[in-house]
Amino acid sequence: MEDFVEKLKKLKTEVEAEVPNHPSIETGDVIGEHYAISKPNEKTVNNPTRVGNKGNITEKERNKRRKSEKEKALGVKKKQNKKCGFCGVKTNLHTKTTCPDNPNARRKPKPIVS
| pLDDT for res 6 | 93
| pLDDT for res 56 | 64
Name the percent of the chain lying above pLDDT 90.
Answer: 10
Per-residue confidence at 8, pLDDT binned at 50, 70, 90? very high
Overall average pLDDT of the 48-69 stretch: 69
Q: Are 103 and 96 within 8 A, CB to CB?
A: no
48-73 in b/e form (b: 16+ CB < 10 A) is: eeeeeeeeeeeeeeeeeeeeeeeeee
The answer on pLDDT for 114 being more than 60 is no
**How far apart are alpha carbons 20 and 13 in whole angstroms?**
12
pTM here is 0.29
Annotated domain spans of the chain = 2-35
| pLDDT for res 43 | 84
Contact partners, residue 87, CB within 8 Å, separation at least 6: 99, 101, 102
| pLDDT for res 58 | 62
Residues facing residue 90 across a β-bridge: 83
Nearest to 101 by CA among 90, 87, 111, 112: 87
